Amino acid sequence: MNTSSSSGQGSNAAALASPHQPRGGRGAAGRAGGRGDGSNRVDALGRLLTTVLRHMAPELGLGMRSDGYVRARDLLGLNLQTFAKAPLKSHSVDEIREAVRRDNKQRFSLLEEDGELLIRANQGHTVTTVASESLLKPILSADEVSVCVHGTYRKNLDSILQHGLKRMERLHIHFSSGLPSDEGVISGMRRSANILIYLDVRKALQDGMKLYISDNKVVLTEGFDGVVPVKYLEKMETWTGRPLIPFQR
């Protein structure tokens, strides 16, 4: 099932007003710090940017556009600290560029406007500031997508077969445009997934489901009221052996 972390409200925003790690445990702070030893300043910056741009911009007072972009200098003005114990204010625009360049899942896009650098997360948002039509490219034909597969875990199967795929706190349900072993597939599912669920793209589009693709080639949909019903699931496989899992559509 599609899972995500809630952005949090109220007291979280107050806690973030001081230069500390953005929440503890394996949530935002864990993502902000990478391996947890804080040894890599730029990688820790990239993980913090992921968390802020996907989940926290409104509560931090960032001016986020409907296409997800914020000004890099506004980000660097936040009173936050990465898990590498570096204040965000101590970083530079060039370090933001380097964090984006290093990100092997291509989670970010950069844009230059009027001499100003803007940055956004390409997908994975929980914040409702962004609009699908502004952030993403619509998929208008099944011919545009050769593979559309959602990775999940066996423990989630009963719930998926009963209720369909849910977007949870995120804005979209995520699908990969290829298998984890395919060359060039960099994002869209966790490599630890052991169940593959294929979307019947043609049927979904015919019935009016809106599908999109992000800049890093993740297929996204809001489904119908946040759910992709079971009747739009084409097949299910166990990964990596790939035997089919029988189910009633």
Given a cut of 70, is residue 90 above it in pLDDT? yes
Q: Which fold has domain 136-238?
A: ADP-ribosylation fold (3.20.170)
pLDDT for residue 32: 39
- Mean pLDDT rounded to a whole number for the chain: 85
Q: Which tokens hold the place of 179?
A: 């298998």
This prediction's pTM:
0.80
Domain 11-121 class? mainly alpha
State the DSSP string of the chain: ---------THHHHHTTSSS-SSSTTSHHHHHHTTTT---HHHHHHHHHHHIIIIITTTTT----TTS-EEHHHHTTS--B-TTS-BGGG--HHHHHHHHHH-TT--EEEEEETTEEEEEESS----TTS-HHHHSEEE--GGG-S--EEEE-GGGHHHHHHH-EE-TTSSSEEEESS-TTSTT--SSS-TT--EEEEE-HHHHHHTT--EEE-TT-EEEE-TBTTEE-GGGEEEEEETTT--B-----
Range in 5-9, 96-100, 186-190, 219-223 the model is least confident about: 5-9
Q: Which of 157, 96, 133, 116 is nearest to 213 (CA)?
A: 133
* Other residues' Cβ atoms within 10 Å of the Cβ of residue 69: 22
Mean pLDDT of 7-18: 39
pLDDT for residue 207: 98
Question: What is the percent of the chain where pLDDT is above 90?
Answer: 71
Range in 39-43, 54-58, 77-81, 188-192 the model is least confident about: 188-192
Domain ranges for the chain:
11-121, 136-238
Q: 12 and 176 in contact (C-beta within 8 Å)?
A: no
pLDDT for residue 178: 85
Question: What is the sign, positive or negative, of the torsion defined by CA atoms of 29, 34, 40, 44?
Answer: negative
